[in-house]
Amino acid sequence: MAKHETPMLDQLESGPWPSFVSDLKAMAKIKPEVYDILGQLELSYEDRITHWKHGGIVGVFGYGGGIVGRYSDVPERFPGVEHFHTLRVAQPASKYYSTENLRKLADLWQKHGSGVTNFHGSTGDIILLGARTEALEPFFWDLTHEMGQDLGGSGSNLRTPACCLGQSRCEWACYDTQETCYHLTLHYQDEIHRPAFPYKFKFKFSGCPNDCVAAIARSDVSVIGTWRDEIRIDQAAVKEYIAGNYPSNGGAHSGRDWGKFDIKKEVIDLCPTECMWMEGGELKIDDTECTRCMHCINVMPRALRPGADQGATILVGAKAPILEGAQMSTLMIPFMKIEKENEFEELIEFIEKIWDWWMEVGKNRERVGESMQRVGLPTFIKIMGLDPIPQMIRIPRENPYVFWGEEEVPGGFDRDIDEFRARHAA
Amino acid sequence: MGYNPEKPMEGRLTDLGPPHYEQFMPPIIKENKGKWLWHEILQPGVLMHKSETGDEVYTVRVGSPRLMTLVHVREICDIADAHCGGYLRFTTRNNIEFMVDSKDKVQPLLDDLASRGSKFPVGGTGAGITNIVHTQGWIHCHTPATDASGPVKAVMDDLFEYFTSMKMPAQVRIALACCLNMCGAVHASDIAILGIHRKPPMIDNKRITGVCELPLAVASCPLGAVKPAKTEVDGQEIKTVKVTVERCMFCGNCYTMCPAMPLADPEGDGIAILVGGKISNARSAPKFSKLVIPFLPNTPPRWPETVGAIRKIVEAYAKDARKYERVGEWAERIGWERFFEKCDIPFTEKSIDDYRLAYNTWRTTTQFKFTSHIK
């Protein structure tokens, strides 16, 4: 495998942002097949089209997911990437690593594959790009035996769950996102590795409503931390903000002169529920009206903290536009305690109730959010055994077309037209 | 030892899952988990978190191209070994975070990073533009309508000053997905770069019999544009499909289901720009991104049209939005007609929805602004 001329890619070696082209070139000196990745990518830049074939089912014995098959459509020109399969390796929660672990994984990947990776894929896995079919089983053997690690999900299964960094380094996390993610990931290894669903299914765990892992937009079950008591206020720290001694928004706006901090303009007036005011030099919050949007806490992190009675809001059904249009998750459970003590029993029960139904009625390649739309939210709520509450909707129905049940109407639906006509001439 | 192809099932280990996270957490993180009180961004890319124990952890955030090789991974490890006791983490937006347990260790770490050329840019915090989350593109994917790493590099090179500073009204989240499948779910980003196709699929009748389940190909189309058909190949009648071109919205779902229906094309494919989405619940509810530029051509290696369009939006927003206001909140406050005007983006019918629930996006009030659009 020889070096190819790559005049277009070479132009991506300049500029202040780190260059993947320079990096690939450095790797090619160790693994010459990387010259062919560069060569084929250059060809795509010339042709303005991909040169990868559609699909190809490969994997390791016993798993239906974790590896995505990929073949070049110009293998005679770039034999080094004739096979270029992707492996998804399940990431540790919150993506902390020891260098010892990363170096070991690097050595394994150099031995079995191209040496090209993504840290990380969109769903959260470590992505290893570029292995030949015959390398898959040996890599998997070494990954499991030498490292005690495993592949993640792909296809119509539970995708590798992901979480924010949670309580490990964030003061706002309202439950242990790492432990929840880890526990459920281990609990559902079978569902991750052996596709049995109508389509993909994702969990994402965010510690607070800032939602740093985009759970509300990207996961079928979104677990987003919240609290149900009062925002904790340190009035002395509020005064420091007002005096300009603490930077607003944790210093996030320090690059521009926005003028002196104005608690009315920047906090009280931006509160979506208008439930804050100043009184006698103190900040007051009517917590019964608060919807826990996080804005005031974000702006004054040293003065305000989420309440102490913490848990999570559970929402269901987010997805990207394919096919019926994008959906955000819909609120199902306003507040659930998320605790290791009962092994997340309540959350697991909730998830499995969805699966029992969806695996039965979900159409091929129908995300659960689309199934919910198809049957309607009132039906879905009934299936989930939940009481309808106004928190589940943005606004009430704007049409009068209710599917009344026969049992809801006195006398039922059975009527006699002759008897009706005896009293009402046609 | 190692894998024995003669006895593939012997000694096989499965379903181990990911390693436990705790073994990878630096001591300062492990000891203070659940005890953090507040944080402050000391300078672009440098955060300090304060614990109730009095401990402080200093985090240096560094951009990465996401597509990286083992050469880069090992260099990251070298840095973490030299400064961080052998620990590091990655963020959900492909940044690397190096953590140290005291302030005096920050500057040597920053100096080390700066000495390594452009490989480890420090920034991506607060009211700036952090790393772009993105997909594979032409480096690996079979359905892309554009490349990913190339346009990302070009856009980040151009917006670099905003990665290393915090002078925006709020954080600006940019995401790129190289086709409508949106592996890199861009549908709720401040600025979304989305690869799109504009030519309907071709039917490869010579291949379709072997590679496609025709009913699945037919069912894959959300608009019923794919229909069963018959044709002749080498004098033999075969079952195939045909596409009602007027109904095709170029989503590519049929190609996902049927490899004999390719639709990528150098002239047909390109980039759409969507803006105004957000994930966070802060102030306003999470929002989807809206399509404001329907098509920009694929112009490798540096996609100047896309880079230029994004800079224009970023600059108009930076100039006009209020402190804390995200792109979508700004556009809603000034009105979308004003958004198009301020960003100097021509408005076309392509920005008017005609898919499901489109009516919800039509203007059904007399409230509007007299912008240059009204002649």
Q: Span A345-352, mean pLDDT?
A: 98
pLDDT at A57: 87
Q: How far is CA B351 from CA B200, B243, B275, B345, in A?
A: 20, 25, 12, 11
Q: Does B148 touch chain A (CB under 8 A)?
A: no
Q: Span A113-142, mean pLDDT?
A: 97
- Rounded to an integer, what distance in angstroms lies between the CA atom of residue A70 and that of residue B83? 39
Q: Say if residue B37's pLDDT is above 80.
A: yes
Q: At what angle do helices A345-361 and A368-375 cross, to 10 degrees?
A: 70
List CB contacts (< 8 A) between B167 and chain A.
Answer: 255-256
Of A86, A91, A150, the CB nearest to B140: A86
- The SS3 assignment for B207 reads helix
Angle CA B214–B219–B221, to nearest 5:
110
Identify the helix (H) or strand (E) that includes residue A358: helix A345-361
Cβ-defined contact of B69 to A324 (cutoff 8 Å) = no
Cβ-defined contact of A52 to B140 (cutoff 8 Å) = yes
List CB contacts (< 8 A) between B160 and chain A.
Answer: 15-17
CB-hemisphere CA count at 13 Å for A156?
Answer: 15
Looking at the complex, report in whole angstroms how far the Cα of residue B202 sits from the nearest Cα belonging to chain A: 14
Per-residue pLDDT of B172-197, as tens digits, reads 999 999 999 998 779 999 999 999 99
Residues 6+ apart with CB under 8 A from A86: A67, A68, A70, A127, A128, A129, A130, B140
Identify which of A163, A164, A97, A127 has the alpha carbon closest to the alpha carbon of residue B76: A97
Residue of B nearest to A103 (CA): B74
Which of the residue ranges A144-148, A165-169, B184-188, B324-328 would you say has the lowest mean pLDDT?
A: B184-188
Q: Please, what sign has the CA dihedral across residues B282, B61, B104, A96?
A: positive
Q: Are B56 and B101 in contact (CB under 8 A)?
A: yes
List CB contacts (< 8 A) between A99 and chain B.
Answer: 77, 80-81, 86-88
- The SS3 assignment for A87 reads strand
Residue of A nearest to B142 (CA): A52
Per-residue pLDDT of B85-143, as tens digits, reads 999 999 999 999 999 999 999 999 999 999 999 999 999 999 999 999 999 999 999 99
Of A124, A250, A293, the CB nearest to B39: A250
Q: Which residues pair with A269 in a beta bridge?
A: none
Cβ-defined contact of B41 to A250 (cutoff 8 Å) = yes
Looking at the complex, report in whole angstroms how far the Cα of residue A197 sits from the nearest Cα belonging to chain B: 16
pLDDT at B32: 98
Q: According to the 3-state scheme, what is the secondary structure of B39-108?
A: EEEEECCEEEEEECCCCEEEEEEECCCCEEEHHHHHHHHHHHHHHCCCEEEECCCCCEEEEECCHHHHHH
Looking at the complex, report in whole angstroms how far the Cα of residue A34 sits from the nearest Cα belonging to chain B: 10
pLDDT at B183: 84
Q: Say if residue A343's pLDDT is above 80.
A: yes
The distance of Cα A308 from the centroid of its chain, to the nearest Å, equals: 25
Q: Does B188 touch chain A (CB under 8 A)?
A: yes
* Token output for A408: 């809801």
ipTM tops 0.95: yes
Partner A, chain B 88-107, Cβ-Cβ below 8 Å: 88-92, 94, 96, 99
Tokens 């993640």 sit on residue: A152
Q: Say if residue B1's pLDDT is above 80.
A: no
Q: What percent of chain B has pLDDT over 90?
A: 98
Please classify residue A134 by burial: count the beta carbons closer than 10 Å to its beta carbon, then call 0-12 exposed, 13-18 middle and 19+ buried.
exposed
Q: Which residues pair with B177 in a beta bridge?
A: B194
CB-hemisphere CA count at 13 Å for A157?
Answer: 22
Of A93, A118, A252, the CB nearest to B66: A118
- Rounded to an integer, what distance in angstroms lies between the CA atom of residue A202 and that of residue A134? 30
Residue of B nearest to A90 (CA): B18
The distance of Cα B196 from the centroid of its chain, to the nearest Å, equals: 14
Identify which of B275, B311, B317, B270 has the alpha carbon closest to the alpha carbon of residue B292: B275
Per-residue pLDDT of A273-325, as tens digits, reads 999 999 999 999 999 999 999 999 999 999 999 999 999 999 999 999 988 89
Give the number of other CB atoms < 10 A from CB of residue B230. Answer: 9
Q: Say if residue B158's pLDDT is above 80.
A: yes
CB-hemisphere CA count at 13 Å for A158?
Answer: 23
Per-residue pLDDT of A167-192, as tens digits, reads 999 999 999 999 999 999 999 999 99
* Token output for A149: 């690690």
- Rounded to an integer, what distance in angstroms lies between the CA atom of residue A147 and that of residue A305? 40
Pairing of strands B46-51, B36-43: antiparallel
Residues 6+ apart with CB under 8 A from A312: A174, A175, A223, A224, A225, A226, A335, A336, A338
Cβ-defined contact of A45 to B150 (cutoff 8 Å) = yes
Cβ-defined contact of B279 to A217 (cutoff 8 Å) = yes
Q: Are A119 and B67 in contact (CB under 8 A)?
A: no
pLDDT at B262: 97
Output the CA torsion A401→A405→A408→A413 (10° steps). Answer: 100
Cβ-defined contact of A115 to B70 (cutoff 8 Å) = yes
Mutate to test the interface with B, among A241, A253, A296 (most CBs of B within 10 A): A253
- Rounded to an integer, what distance in angstroms lies between the CA atom of residue A86 and that of residue A129? 5
Per-residue pLDDT of A15-28, as tens digits, reads 999 999 999 999 99
Angle CA A17–B189–B166, to nearest 5:
50
Output the CA torsion B21→B22→B23→B26 (10° steps). Answer: 110
pLDDT at A55: 77
pLDDT at A323: 86
pLDDT at A340: 93
Per-residue pLDDT of B244-257, as tens digits, reads 999 999 999 999 99
Mean pLDDT, chain A, whole residue set: 97
Of A8, A91, A173, the CB nearest to B301: A8
Q: Are B310 and B193 in contact (CB under 8 A)?
A: yes
List CB contacts (< 8 A) between B67 and chain A.
Answer: 20, 23, 116-118, 129
Helices marked H in chain B: 27-32, 70-83, 106-114, 149-158, 160-163, 205-211, 214-219, 253-257, 304-320, 327-334, 336-342
Looking at the complex, report in whole angstroms how far the Cα of residue B71 sits from the nearest Cα belonging to chain A: 6
* Token output for A38: 């560069």
Q: Is A363 left (phi over 0), alpha (psi -120 to 50) or beta?
A: beta
Looking at the complex, report in whole angstroms how far the Cα of residue B79 sits from the nearest Cα belonging to chain A: 10
Per-residue pLDDT of A313-324, as tens digits, reads 999 999 999 888
Q: Are A154 and A68 in contact (CB under 8 A)?
A: yes
- Rounded to an integer, what distance in angstroms lies between the CA atom of residue A320 and that of residue A323? 8
Is the peptide bond preceding residue A323 cis, with omega within 30 degrees of 0?
Answer: yes
Partner A, chain B 56-75, Cβ-Cβ below 8 Å: 57, 59, 63-74
Q: At what angle do helices B70-83 and A20-28 cross, to 10 degrees?
A: 100
Per-residue pLDDT of A189-220, as tens digits, reads 999 999 999 999 999 999 999 999 999 999 99
User: 0.90 exceeded by the pTM?
Assistant: yes
Of A216, A294, A365, the CB nearest to B286: A216
Cβ-defined contact of A217 to B185 (cutoff 8 Å) = yes
CB-hemisphere CA count at 13 Å for A153?
Answer: 27
* Token output for B271: 């980039």
